[in-house]
Amino acid sequence: MEAAIDLTAPAAGRRLRVVLLGFYNYQSHALRIFHPLLRQRGHDVHSIFFKNYFTYFVPTQRDEDMVVDLITRLRPDVVAMSVWSTYYALAARLTARIKAAVNPVVIWGGIHAQTYSEDCLTHADIVCRGEGEYVLAELTDRIGQGVGYHDLAGCWVRSHDGTIIRNPPRQLIADLDALPPADLSF
Ligand code: B12
């Protein structure tokens, strides 16, 4: 059973820098809930919407270089990506470059990550297999306290020897009012 977390309380550990990265979905409801949620817990949160809707143009090398450069300069502790199948290959390319540049913990969530979790774990360190709010709150608490995350409920995790740890699902969020409203202000 996962720990009960008060989403409005300050994070249990140190303040982290978290980059939220989404693809071709400027109004991603997932990211726009995660942003105020992590901010209200005291983290330094940066949301990057790469790129705008429905262009369906493959990003140029320069586009990709720019986002990698931005994230490298931010030096985040955690990069959290929302991945639909349409932009899986892009997420994989960026993850490899971000890991090589600053080696944050990279967690993927969203429908593609839930559907092809094993494959996604060849790129990401952690895959969230359902709702992300309490997962991100607990993950940032743990990293901020220097505690491991291999047994994080609701996630599959790649261990040091490359094996996949399949943790049990998390309970569905019963009280949706505990979540901050999606922040569409930026
Ligand atoms: C709304 C919606 C849209 C809207 C998005 C508008 C907006 N403001 O976001 C619009 C109409 C633009 C849209 C477009 C498309 N969509 Co659409 N869409 C949906 C829909 C109905 C809901 C998604 C949503 O916002 N849910 C609410 C949020 C809060 O939930 P969520 O995204 O699931 O996120 C939760 C978890 O997944 C998790 N999570 C998500 N990301 C992350 C990241 C991390 C790090 C963590 C820890 C957790 C996590 O936590 C979140 C909160 O608990 C889904 C179907 C569904 N029922 O899920 C299809 C769906 C996502 N869409 C789909 C598709 C195919 C498309 C299009 C490609 C259609 C097309 N041919 O053009 C386009 C792509 C657009 C693009 N730019 O990429 C597919 C994706 C399939 C796939 N394998 O990727 C889905 C699943 C529908 C389906 N069953 O086929 N879509």
pLDDT at 131: 98
CB 14 within 8 A of CB 43: no
Residue nearest ligand 1's atom 63 by CA:
84
pLDDT confidence of residue 54:
66
Which regions in the chain score pLDDT beneath 50?
none
In a domain, 180, yes or no: no
To the nearest 10°, report the CA torsion of 124, 14, 152, 9. Answer: -120
pTM of the model: 0.97
**How far apart (Å, rounded) are the C-alpha atoms in residues 124 and 129?**
13
Tell me the per-residue pLDDT of 97-130, one tens digit each, with 9 for 90 and over: 999 999 999 999 999 999 999 999 999 999 999 9
Residue 121, Cβ neighbours under 10 Å: how many? 22
In a domain, 178, yes or no: no
pLDDT at 58: 82
Q: How many angstroms does the Cα of residue 147 sit away from the middle of ligand 1?
A: 31
* 2 falls within a domain: no
pLDDT value at position 55? 64
**Domain ranges, residue 65:** 17-170
Asked if residue 7 is part of any domain, the answer here is no
The number of distinct structural domains making up the chain is 1
- Ligand 1 atom showing the smallest separation from residue 108 Cα: 45
Sequence-separated (6 or more) residues with CB below 8 Å from residue 176: none
| Residue positions counted in the chain | 186
Asked whether residue 184 is domain-assigned, the answer is no
Give the atom of ligand 1 at the shortest distance from the alpha carbon of 139: 47
Predicted pLDDT of residue 106: 98
Whose C-alpha lies nearest to ligand 1, atom 8? 27
The answer as to whether 12 is a domain residue is no
Residue 1: Cβ within 10 Å count: 7
How far is Cα of residue 51 from the mean position of the Cα atoms in its chain?
17
| 159 within domain boundaries | yes
Instruction: Determine the pLDDT at residue 15.
Output: 98
| 81 domain-assigned | yes
CATH of the domain at 143: 3.40.50.280
Q: What is the pLDDT of residue 18?
A: 98
- Radius of gyration in angstroms for the set of CA atoms belonging to the chain, rounded to a whole number: 15
